[in-house]
Amino acid sequence: MKLRKLSLKVDEDESYHGPAKKRNKRVANGKKYLMKIIRNTLRLYSYTTGFGLTGNTLKKGSAANYATMSFPTAPPPKSRLGRYRMLAPTAGVMVSPLCLGAMNFGEGWKERLGECDKETSFKILDTFYENGGNFIDTANNYQNEDSEAWLGEWMEKRDLRDQIVLATKYTSGYRTYNKSEIQANFVGNNTKSMRLSVNASLKKLRTDYIDLLYVHWWDFGTSIEEVMTSLNQLVIAGKVLYLGVSDTPAWVVSRANQCKKHFSKVLLEKNLLTDNKSTDARDHGMRPFSVYQGQWNAARRDFEREIIPMCAAEGMGLCPWGSIGGGAFKTAAHREELAKSGNPGRQIEPRDVDVAVSKVLENVANRHNTVITSVALAYVMSKAPHVFPIVGGRKVEHLLGNVEALGLELSEEDIKEIESAYEFDPGFPNTFLFRGEEKEAHPGNVLFKNVAAKFDYVDLVRPIKPKSLDA
């Protein structure tokens, strides 16, 4: 069989595609066919999404019309709670900028914390959700287990479990109210305590997974290896998505995250990882701690010595509790009013530093036409990225006041004024390395390096500034 020799050379009359007129006709038909595919695809997209891309929007023309077509964006949220942020560099889940603390929801601790009945608790939860909030924090022992139980009931009744990013904790003795039981293994960081607590939490919360599980506090008895291996077994089982740690020294957290690759290898050797294609533990992506929770506010800044730099290095988010002072931040008029009434409230006697910080917060609040708790909340959110303060309260108006604080932007002068209320000691080696001054952990601030030459460095990652609802 004789094959015709095909030429790829293009001339006026003949080419690989045939005569010029026929070639042009085929090209034109091809363009029409392509436009038809695009129009049908967009009509199908419009039908399935309700975006309304039919009619004049799909008029025939250049393909550039489709390339430059703009699609509708999400509508403005009801409040700034509905502007979601990535939880941490190592946790891509999107959460509201405030985390609702559920420690007040229940009757088990009402003598200590005050009463917040189920009806009020559900109203607070509804208000949080309706304003865009999706990040909620509880623990295995809060309110003698009422907190988790009520939260689970609320999510089930509203049918919105998967819309919520749910955080809970293990470690605390969650059955200490039942004196008839042996309590030895219902408390602590060990594997049995973890297993019992997580299974109980899943039942109370009426769910089959926990978005974020915290180690509530470090018991200094259980090994780091045991804790991280057992936590990652929960991740592998699908019971837990992300890991967090609370009220624990920075060196423990760093060691735990550093060792996670080793734990992956251990699990692989024990055949607890099912992927046999690779023997490299790094390929199995064991979960590190992605979030740290602890006490931090303008009058308690210990967080800034080791915890915040550690979180920056480890790619962790921060969920501080007590950011609005836990009742310690009050205006001078409010303190005077309480003193005259003879009812100082259920809060403990404030420290001198609390009074001093309150005075400065009040000055800043007056300039911004807001309240001191809003300034206190804005302060911690202005100090570091990936900060999600935990806010509680027993009244809806308390929650709404905290939401309003998300629109407050403090200047550097405001922050300096707040920090001038008392002398904070960053401690050694920070004061030694940073000229004896309070400085950020940045190479540009290290005295002994700067004596050698002039250096330029990339700036540290900064917090997200408040944005308008429709930005």
Residues identified as active-site? 142
- Show the tokens assigned to 159: 């049918």
Q: Residue 34 half-sphere exposure, CB side, CA atoms within 13 Å?
A: 11
Contact predicate 245/292, CB 8 Å: yes
Own/partner pairs, 173-179, CB within 8 angstroms, 24+ separation: 173/141, 174/139, 174/140, 174/141, 174/145, 174/200, 175/145, 176/141, 177/108, 177/144
SS3 51: coil
Instruction: Kindly list the distances between the CA atom of residue 457 and the CA atoms of 164, 169, 445, 454, in Å, as whole numbers in the listed order.
Output: 39, 39, 10, 10
Q: Name the residue among 124, 199, 137 with its Cα closest to residue 164.
A: 137
The span from the CA of 383 to the CA of 429, in Å, is 21
Own/partner pairs, 457-463, CB within 8 angstroms, 24+ separation: 460/312, 461/312, 461/385, 462/385, 463/381, 463/382, 463/383, 463/384, 463/385, 463/387
